[in-house]
Amino acid sequence: MERFDEPGDFGRAVLILRSLRGRQQEDLARAAGMAQSKVSDVERGRVPLSLAELEQVSSALRFAPTAGRRTVAFLRSLRADATAIESSLSLARWLGPFTGAAFDRALDLVRAAEALLLAELRAAGPEPAAARLGRHEVEEARRLAAELWARLAPYTPEVRRILVEEGREFQSFALCELVCAESAKAAADNADQAIELAELALRIAGLVAGRPRWRARLEGYAGAHLANALRVKGDLLAADRALAGALRLWEAGAASDPGILDPVRLLDLEASLRKDQRKLTQALALLDRALATNPASKIAGRLLIKKASTLEKLGQNEEALAVLGAAAPLVEGAGNERLRFGLRFGVVVNLCELGRHAEAEPLLAEVRAMASRLAYELDLVRVTWLEGRAAAGLGRTDEAVEALEYAQGELARRGIAYDAALATLELAVFLLGHGHIAEVKRLAEQSKAVFDAQGVGREALATLKVFRKAVAREVLTAALARQLFDKLSGKEKVGA
């Protein structure tokens, strides 16, 4: 039986044809009479495929039996002639049978094939050991990583992973580092996308050439970003497990790293998780270590904003405002709009906590405008929550209820469970204070469906259970609801 002589070409052809039809692996496996595991292994070049089986796959996908062979021929022509890779004529010849949306899908897949083949053609052997990389080599690797990411970014997570696994050029420490940064950026608005990117970075780390300890160091770095994405998603238990494993790998690979990866970043990410776990004194200690490790760090302003947020959670609002004042000159001159937003947002939060709502209200319009320019939906939800607090403090009842209900619903819908739990209790405090008992009962019923699933954490679930029982027994008062809110937010136990 005839089999392919260039490992991977038949598999790549199957991936391209399947993607053109928008079919999943399990759909193709069913239609072609194959196991799904075989389809996956074929697409990754792990097992061979006969020409007859390739024709069978083509037919199962409603292409002519020769479509698979034509695709393989195209891929091999690209390998044989590097200049043809970027030739629009060669693309036009291959894409001739497709029109409209099919043309667009074909073009996307052909570009994916180009990226993969270019990686193979340009690969120049294994990456040097980290210890032998000089400053200029590190800078060049990071410059190339930006180009590599520009080629990967347009594709789906599945195609990105295949390209990374197939192309040695993508198996770079600098690309891993950059994809981690992209994950952190995505976490501001889309936790699921942040998780996908962190998982891709983790896969890249595991494929980087060099000593096992260097890969461990990279995997620790990427794993910490995965933990961060899980934290933003609201799954604090999974985030804690992921971070524990990441820190073990990070430390195991310490001797292999001549200072390429930034240790401040790991302290920063761990502090974020400890803050969300309400282990606030631990978070402060980590942030102080990060600031002491590199006082001139480019992220010093962001670390100070995070420190102020932790102090706010501890109820130390005057101290938080002082730290924000220290952060202001670092942030204002950095040209980072999101940091400026974080600075202003923190000032308004602390003013509201201090009961200085009249001072906070004029600043809210600027905060709202900044969030709108940044266009991060989650930021806008949090601004609405803050507007509800300010309205409540100024006695605008209807406006406060509308804003708080919207924020609570959006946080719950997005699965950001811990913050949704806080918003639930804050809304209950306000409703009870204005005699809206029926609305509080409805809120308690809704909270059971949302928060009993998973991801909130044992202490938060226990607090919410007390809330619901008190509502059911009609003994919940605004004072008790406030006590529960303070407990959940960490303000009851300053040393938590």
Do residue 18 and residue 116 come from a single domain?
yes
Query: Is 53 within a domain?
Result: yes
Pick the closest to residue 70 from 93, 39, 99 (CA basis). Answer: 93
Distance of CA 235 to the CA centre of its chain: 13
Do residue 341 and residue 380 come from a single domain?
no
Do residue 240 and residue 267 come from a single domain?
no
The count of other CB atoms within 10 Å of the CB of residue 45 is 20
* Length of the chain measured in residues: 496
Rounded to whole angstroms, the Cα distance separating 233 from 186 reads: 12
Do residue 257 and residue 270 come from a single domain?
no
The tally of domains found in the chain comes to 4
Helices (H), 7-87: 9-20, 25-32, 36-43, 51-60, 67-80, 82-85
Please report, as a single letter, which amino acid is at residue 92.
A
Rounded to whole angstroms, the Cα distance separating 179 from 171 reads: 12
Query: Is 279 within a domain?
Result: yes
Q: Is the pLDDT of residue 93 over 50?
A: no
CB 496 within 8 A of CB 457: no
Q: What CATH code is carried by the domain that includes residue 279? A: 1.25.40.10
Number of continuous H segments (helices) and E segments (strands) in the chain? 26, 0
Q: Considering the entire predicted model, what is its pTM?
A: 0.65
Write the pLDDT tens digit of every residue in 13-64. 888 788 767 788 888 888 888 888 888 888 877 788 888 888 888 888 887 7
Rounded to whole angstroms, the Cα distance separating 256 from 215 reads: 9
Alpha-carbon torsion, ordered 264, 265, 271, 277, to 10 deg: -160
Do residue 323 and residue 221 come from a single domain?
no
Query: Is 365 within a domain?
Result: no
Q: What is the rounded average pLDDT of the residues 288-304?
A: 86
Given 96, 122, 148, the domain boundary residue is: 122
Q: What CATH code is carried by the domain that includes residue 169? A: 1.25.40
The parent domain of residue 307 ranges over 263-354
Do residue 241 and residue 277 come from a single domain?
no
Please give the pLDDT value at position 424. Answer: 79
Pick the closest to residue 309 from 340, 281, 275 (CA basis). Answer: 275
Q: What CATH code is carried by the domain that includes residue 29? A: 1.10.260.40
| Phi, psi dihedrals of residue 322, rounded to the nearest 5° | -65, -40
- What's the pLDDT band for 414 if we cut at 50, 70, 90? confident
Rounded to whole angstroms, the Cα distance separating 8 from 47 reads: 9
Please give the pLDDT value at position 152. Answer: 92
Q: What is the rounded average pLDDT of the residues 441-464?
A: 61
Q: Is the pLDDT of residue 11 over 80?
A: yes
- What's the pLDDT band for 120 if we cut at 50, 70, 90? very low
Do residue 466 and residue 405 come from a single domain?
yes
Do residue 410 and residue 295 come from a single domain?
no
Indicate the range of 156-165, 388-397, 453-462 predicted with least confidence: 453-462
- Non-local (6+) Cβ contacts of 81 within 8 A are none
Q: What is the rounded average pLDDT of the residues 215-237?
A: 92
- What's the pLDDT band for 92 if we cut at 50, 70, 90? very low
Given 89, 122, 155, the domain boundary residue is: 122
- What's the pLDDT band for 491 if we cut at 50, 70, 90? low
Q: Which residue is listed with tokens 């997570």?
A: 157
Write the pLDDT tens digit of every residue in 62-89. 877 777 887 777 777 655 554 444 444 3
CB 354 within 8 A of CB 335: no
Please give the pLDDT value at position 269. Answer: 96
- Non-local (6+) Cβ contacts of 434 within 8 A are 397
Please give the pLDDT value at position 292. Answer: 93
